[in-house]
Amino acid sequence: MIRNLSINRIYHSLRILGIETSCDDTAAAVVDSQRTILSQACRNQLKYHQPWGGIVPSIAKNHHYENLVPVVAEVMKDIEWNTIDAIATSVKPGLVISLWQGINFTRQLLQKYTHLSFIPIHHMEAHALTVRLTHDVPFPYMVLLASGGHCILGIVEDVDKFYRLGETKDIAPGEAFDKSAREMKLHEHPLVQDMAGGAAMGYLAREGDEKRYQLITSSYSAKMKDCSFSFGGMLSQIRRVIGKESIYYGSSSTDEQKLKDFAACIQASIVRHIETRVHRAILFCDTIQKSQWKQRLVLAGGVASNLYLRQRINDLCSHYGIELVCPPVEFCTDNGVMIAWNGIERYRRNLNVFERMPEIVVPEGRSPLGSDISEQVCAYDLSVPFDWKTILGKKHVLL
């Protein structure tokens, strides 16, 4: 039954428990409507999956099962259950077997604490809205959602109103980072072995020379005048170079500097591709006279914690007088706070708030966020200056 909110309920300070199990992090948090994070906890499973070279669903499921009780106990340690209004839980998109764990555990909690409402959460919507907890960002705004499983460029018009300008046609940038890091055996490198692939790459790239290797922009991304992404061709090329030049940790022909240079090259290629799409999105907003869409650009999702990406996009935004807003790094990667906050945003508007958990709540592995307006972008055939920094005066190649 959908909750019928009384006026009192809307105006008193809300407290929501958020539960996140969409991939390999078991996370929970309690957040209130004054934007206070009352508690948070997260157990990462990285080390259990690393030997297998990727997330193993059955391992993820077992760890979520073991971790949910202690993680929720930790966040509720100093909080009375009767001061909580609702539980918000990720139900899509993600690893279905993992999402089930969060949903089943939420059901048990709701059976015990019957005063609580239930709010199903779209994991990518939560990434897109987190910035409104940490910064004063009114609607609408442009957002880049870049993570291990997604890459979406869109407009957030409201809590439940999202337009997709473009998304990845194959793999996400996080996956390209993770698979490249794996090929380079960075999980054996003592300096970065405890980091996620993208974070390891970013760390090594800080002291690397991105010009030492040349990765050719794929013909797809050069030809398509849209805001969609493609990292599959780039990953194949990265793999070829790694194989040919033996660029991996432990290789007799690869010293530390070579690793750093190649990491910088991979990072620059991924970031340049994203930058072109963001640039086209800015031009698109101008073309259709939706300047309010591009007053602010938000970077979200795990890959948005990449400092080089932030720097490049910040330069682009400064050029166009756009404010770039990034949630703190700890809220870019998966966490419970973003789920709880999404719960607050939905509860306040009474959007899909259930007084009792429906009998059937089924997780969804895939679930597009909002409406697709990418064809409108294509229709304008907008060219982006290849090196936009030379826009003024000099010649430039159009992509």
What is the DSSP pairing of strand 296-300 with strand 323-325?
Answer: parallel
H/E element holding 271?
helix 256-287
Among 141, 177, 231, 347, binds ligand KG4 (CB under 6 A): 177
**Site for ligand KG4, residues 179 to 198, rule: CB under 6 A:** 196-198
- Site size for ligand KG4 (CB under 6 A): 19
Q: How far is the CB of 315 from Zn ion (least distance, A)?
A: 26
Structure tokens at 201: 């790459």
Give CA–CA dist 25/40, Å, rounded: 13
Question: Is residue 45 within 8 Å of 334, Cβ to Cβ?
Answer: no
Pick one of ligand KG4, Zn ion, none as the site partner of residue 336 (Cβ within 5 to 8 A by kind): none
The CA distance from 286 to 9, in Å, is: 41
Residue with Cβ nearer Zn ion (270 or 303): 303
Q: Which does 370 bind (CB under 5 to 8 A by kind): Zn ion, ligand KG4, none?
A: none
Residue 303 interacts, among ligand KG4, Zn ion, none and using kind-specific CB cut-offs from 5 to 8 Å, with ligand KG4
Q: Does 23 bind ligand KG4 (CB under 6 A)?
A: yes
Footprint of ligand KG4 on 326-365 (CB under 6 A): 333-334
The interface partner of residue 385, options being ligand KG4, Zn ion, none and the CB cut-off 5 to 8 Å by kind, is: none
* One of 102, 154, 166, 174 touching ligand KG4 (CB under 6 A): 174
Q: How far is the CB of 31 from Zn ion (least distance, A)?
A: 17
**C-alpha span between 64 and 61 (Å, rounded):** 5
d(CA 24, CA 305): 18
Nearest one of 347, 330, 328, 335 to 16, comparing CA atoms: 347
* Beta carbon of residue 203, minimum distance to ligand KG4 (angstroms, whole number): 8
Q: What angle do CA 112, 117, 80 make, to 5 degrees?
A: 55
Residues contributing to the site for ligand KG4 (CB under 6 A): 23, 147-149, 174, 177-178, 196-199, 202, 301-303, 305-306, 333-334
